[in-house]
Chain A
């Protein structure tokens, strides 16, 4: 992947004109930050931020058998999602390993949009095509059909409301409806990955620049700023949201990741991974493997992905994500640790930061929950 040219979003020239520091992310050249990532983070927590998320992978599944196909291919109860609503779910292998975490939007009775992580979009597309055999449904690669802009933060409803007639008050968290924003046709979804209220706008790539500029103008007075992937990562970490490749992988089942609730055994019919996941559920209940916990630093050194979690001189876990938390003002991390050390308040837990064992407090996730 690294040998090929990076892919650029429809907003690429605009990011450069804003002075963005760009970074390679899953083969895409994406904005890492425009100025200070801490300022961008704080803008989303207190005002609003504007993100280009066009690297995310959209896959349309449509046809009379679309719901049945997704119920077979994914671990969630997709047939039970009402039109206009969305669901957080996962796609697993036959052995229960997580291929990706997804958001599925039910656009209509027989039409769904699956949104996969950029790094896994090809894998998810291939798996859906393969699993579609025998179902009366079409799986369509729409990765290049959409640009995705996100407006996140407490001011985002007011900013968006100034540009659309859509019923935003009636649009609940994890819902989506087609509408028009600043004259541009958009799927307006109340989703995000920041722990704040906010919206994701799926539009045609040729409308992306115009929409970005209109949102920027509309958000000026409210303090909206462009935001890069760096603050998106610290925002989702504070909100305790897993990131594929860090907290989630093919080596783990949803139960290992503490997300067994996304697996719906009660749904009709068989689904890929059912048998292995039933075993994983029993194992997790009877003899918990490592548990995903939060860690908060007592000092100022920052834990990074891969660092060992230690107690009494023994390695008892592994950091999956770590960063300085702008909201808490301290370094934080998510880590898988042995169940014996996973209870909040467990004494004597540290992180091995380049040879020195720094003390950390075990806490329940998330680190941050917005006041509603």
Chain B
């Protein structure tokens, strides 16, 4: 598995894109999706919600477990992926693409976001 170079990552296994007009797209990594197994339910924040870096903003349910979804940055939700709500298996089949979760207007980001190489080391570690 390869983690895309152009993304940045949180230690809680979210990825985010570089901001475009201040807005970043967020999802969970392939590593996290594999660890969860088949995702069957996704609860996302709502458009307009304020999220805080490192705090829970939703949940992901798989066959065996439920996991909290964390926001890697602070800001306001501008869009959520309705496709993934209707078909949670997108998280497994295309975690870095069609399985994206939400877009956020970034107000603040923590200093400890990881590069792809650093995230590779984190999950190998």
Contact = CB atoms under 8 A, between A and B. Distances in A.
Contacts of B37: 21, 32-33, 36-37, 230
A370 B51 CA distance: 47
A304 interface: yes
A234 interface: yes
Contacts of B38: 36-38, 324
A324 B92 contact: no
Nearest to B40: A324
Q: Give the secondary structure class of A's interface.
A: mixed
Contacts, number: 39
Contacts of B40: 300, 302, 324, 331
Q: Number of contact residues on B: which range applies?
A: 10 to 19
Q: Number of contact residues on A: which range applies?
A: 10 to 19
Contact of A36 (B64, B65, B66, B92): B92
Contacts of B41: 300-302, 324
B48 to A, nearest CB: 21
B63 interface: yes
A230 B64 contact: yes
B61 interface: yes
B61 A37 contact: no
Contacts of A37: 37-38, 63-64
B96 to A, nearest CB: 18
Interface in B27-67: 34, 37-38, 40-41, 43, 61, 63-66
A302 B66 contact: yes
Contacts of A302: 40-41, 61, 66
Contacts of B43: 301
Contacts of A301: 41, 43, 61
Kindly list the 3 A-B residue pairs having the minimum CB-CB distance in the complex, ordered from nearest: A324-B40, A300-B41, A38-B38
Interface of A: 21, 32-33, 36-38, 230, 234, 300-302, 304, 323-324, 331, 354
Given A38-B38, A331-B40, 7 more contacts: A32-B37, A37-B63, A230-B37, A234-B63, A301-B61, A302-B66, A324-B63
